[in-house]
Amino acid sequence: MVKEDWQVVSGAVTALFQRKKLANGELLSLTEKVRAVKTDVGNAKLCEHFKEILVKGMIILREDLKEKSGELLMDKLSSAWLYFFKYILPLLQAIFVNLYPPDGNSVRDLSLLSFRDIVVLKTKLEEAFQMEVESPPELIRMLLILQSVHDSPQPNKNYRKLETLVSYVVTPYLSSTGLRNKPIITTPTDPKLPRPASAAQLSGKQSDKLDTVHEVESNRRYTFTSSGDSACSSVFGSITSDLNTARSSVNSTNTLV
| 207: pLDDT strictly greater than 50 | no
Looking at 131-228, list the stretches that DSSP marks H as alpha helix, in order from N- to C-terminal side. 137-146, 157-169, 199-204, 206-209
Contact 149, 112 (CB under 8 A): yes
Q: Where are the domains of the chain?
A: 1-180
Task: State how far the Cα of 100 lies from the Cα of 38, in Å rounded to an integer.
Answer: 10
Question: 235 falls in which pLDDT band (50, 70, 90)?
Answer: very low
Percent of residues, the chain, with pLDDT higher than 70:
71
Q: Determine which of 101-110, 145-154, 164-173, 231-240 has the lowest per-residue pLDDT on average.
A: 231-240
Tell me the CA distances in angstroms from 163 to 122, 140, 177, one per residue in order.
Answer: 15, 12, 10
Contact 123, 73 (CB under 8 A): yes
CATH 1.10.3720.10 fits 1-180, yes or no: no
Residue 173: predicted pLDDT: 80
